[in-house]
Amino acid sequence: MLLDGRGRLVGHSRIAPLPHERRSPRTRPLRRIQPVRIVIVGCGRVGSTLASRMVEEGHEVSIVDENLSAFARLGEDFGGQMVVGSGVDEEVLRRAGIERADCFASVTNGDNRNIMAAQIAKDVFGVKRVITRIYDPIRAEVYREIGLETICPTTIGAALLEEFFLTGHNAAQSGTVETRAAGATG
Amino acid sequence: MAVKPERPYVLIIGGGKVGFYLARHLIERGYEVTLCEKDRARAEWISNQLGTVSIMVGDGDEMAFLATTGIERAGVVVACTGDDEDNLVACQLAKRKFGVPRTIARVNNPTNVKVFRTLGIDVPVSATELLMGLIESELGHSELVRGVAVKASGANLVDVALPELSSLVGRRISELQLPDGELVVCIVRNGKPVLPGPNEHVLQGDELIIYSQTLDIERVSEALSR
């Protein structure tokens, strides 16, 4: 599925095989993945799924949430770092190792919180690859213009639904978009 | 002939205690004010209290709502909700999307003051920080009170009420060995301001207003007790 800047559907694309599909010895590429250090703010469904996936891939993951109970989503044998605290507090982010992070994602359930956390990561700590989830399509657009990498599930979801109505094709289920949850129970 | 500049239209986001009293204060001083409050019941309560104020019910981070508030002609936007992230976003939208020249944000977590400045907020104000400064000075140096932040330069005005037997009494202003970046800008004598020349003597009961760049209260205090 290909979307233009406003989230309108413009075409289809096969997504490259995901790591778990490569795991069989026959198809696994020889090139080893370069491990990255990633800080994730928000341990909800998306945050915990992302964290588990990346830990499984051998990356160094820190995940931040205000509520200790949120970390239950990660399962007991989670191999990353869990930090209790606010994702819009420099000190908490430092504890999560943001000063040496390569990647940052903010995926709490508050748009503004995500925006602020991502800006701190990008402009205060200079993290190179920063992305934030913004539900409000207008704010997502505004901050994209300002130079923040954003992802808006609202427009993506609406486009998928629209595509199904128009073509009878459910891209989310047919493998065009992968919805695997690696190890996350949420 | 110089034309007196008109008072700017002020848009206040957040009708909590801070927003409410700020709106009342500014209206009394003749400003045109619109207060934005997302909770309808709270907005109605404010409306009953203030009568004349223009109140709009809506979210300060919704572009569509902001566009209905006349924000593009606002001279100042003050975001004073209890959530730093909401204040940040409201100010950024005001500045970047509506061209508001000056944004003031209430900062609830004092460590965010620097962050807000980095992220383009003109004036981040932390009540907690001001309060902490006041309490700190009450605890340690009872005669020193950290005052208001001076626009842009990041300096503070510090109010020093001289203790009764201060060693400074009788000395000239030019003899005070203040650290670099500190300057006595005013003497308050018998409740009246006096412009301190270098030869002005410090008298019993004087209060000194010091422009302080270092904010190093300890050093100022030390200099003044010599």
Tracing tokens 């060995």 back to the chain, one arrives at B177
| Closest CA–CA distance from residue B199 to any residue of chain A (Å) | 46
- A106 and A118 in contact (C-beta within 8 Å)? yes
Under the banding of pLDDT at 50, 70 and 90, the label for residue A111 is very high
Quick one: average pLDDT of A103-127? 97
Whether residue A112 lies within 8 A of chain B, CB to CB, comes out as: yes
- Is A112 in Cβ contact with B61 (below 8 Å)? yes
The tens digit of pLDDT for each residue in A27-86 reads 444 455 688 999 999 999 999 999 999 999 999 999 999 999 999 999 889 999 999 999
Of A91, A116, A146, the CB nearest to B84: A116
pLDDT for residue A105: 98
Quote the pLDDT of residue A30.
Answer: 47
Residue A31 is predicted with a pLDDT of 52
Model-level pTM greater than 0.90? no
Which one of B89, B95, B116, B128 makes the best mutation probe of the A interface by having the most chain A beta carbons within 10 Å? B89
Within 8 A of B63 by CB-CB distance, chain A residues are: 138-139, 142
**B85 → closest Cβ in A88, A136, A146:** A88
Q: Please list every residue in chain B whose beta carbon sits closer than 8 Å to the beta carbon of residue A119.
A: 88, 119
pLDDT reading at B8 higher than 50: yes
A88 touches chain B (CB under 8 A): yes
Provide the percentage of residues in chain A whose pLDDT is more than 90.
Answer: 69
User: Is there a contact between B118 and A88 if contact means CB atoms under 8 Å apart?
Assistant: no
- Interface contact flag, B88 A112, Cβ < 8 Å: yes
Q: Are B11 and B23 in contact (CB under 8 A)?
A: no
Cβ pair A112:B119 closer than 8 A = no
Please count the other Cβ atoms lying within 10 Å of the Cβ belonging to residue B201.
Answer: 14
Name every residue whose Cβ is closer than 8 Å to that of residue B226 and which is 6 or more positions away in sequence.
B167, B177
Mean pLDDT of all residues in B24-49: 93
The whole-number pLDDT of residue B38 equals 94
Q: Give chain B positions within 8 Å (CB) of A142.
A: 63, 93, 96-97
Quote ipTM for the complex. 0.76
Chain A residue numbers with beta carbons less than 8 Å from the beta carbon of B96 are 142, 146
Question: Is A123 touching B (CB cutoff 8 A)?
Answer: yes
Q: Tell me: the pLDDT tens digits for A85-106?
A: 999 999 999 999 999 999 999 9
Q: How many A-B residue pairs are in contact by the CB < 8 A criterion?
A: 53
Rounded to the nearest 5 degrees, what angle is found at the Cα of B119, between the Cα atoms of A100 and A88?
A: 55
Of A76 and A19, more confident:
A76
Per-chain mean pLDDT for chain A: 84
Helices (H), chain A: 19-22, 45-56, 90-95, 111-119, 137-146, 153-167
- β-pairing verdict for A60-65 and B10-13: unpaired
**Separation between Cα atoms, residue B168 and residue B207, nearest integer Å:** 11
Cα B97 from Cα B52, distance rounded (Å): 29
pLDDT in tens, B121-136: 999 998 877 777 677 6
Interface touch A116/B89, C-beta < 8 Å = yes
B115 closest CB neighbour out of A112, A124, A139: A124
**Interface residue B113 vs chain A (CB under 8 A):** no
Grade residue A25 by pLDDT with cuts at 50, 70 and 90. very low
In chain A, the residue whose alpha carbon lies closest to the alpha carbon of B65 is A138
Q: Do A89 and B111 touch (CB under 8 A)?
A: yes
Taking CA–CA distances from B112, the nearest residue in chain A reads A89
Structure token pair of residue A57? 């891939």
Tell me if chain B has a CB within 8 Å of the CB of A135: no
Q: Do B85 and A124 touch (CB under 8 A)?
A: no
Residues B52 and B27: their CA atoms lie apart, in Å, by 8
| Interface contact flag, B84 A146, Cβ < 8 Å | no
Statement: residue B149 has pLDDT above 70: no
Judged against a pLDDT cut of 50, whether residue A15 lies above it is answered with: no
Residue B37 has pLDDT above 90, yes or no: yes
Ramachandran sector of residue A14 (left: φ over 0; alpha: ψ -120 to 50; beta: rest)? beta
Walk across the sheet containing B102-106 and list its strands: B54-57, B33-37, B10-13, B76-79, B102-106, B123-125
For residue B17, give how far its alpha carbon lies from the nearest alpha carbon of chain A (Å): 22
* pLDDT on residue B153: 64
Q: Greater confidence, A154 or B52?
A: A154
**pLDDT cut 70: percent of chain A above it:** 75
Q: How far is A99 from chain B (nearest CA, A)?
A: 15
Q: Are A87 and A95 in contact (CB under 8 A)?
A: no
The predicted pLDDT at position B213 comes to 73
pLDDT tens digit string along B84-117?
999 999 999 999 999 999 999 999 998 899 899 9
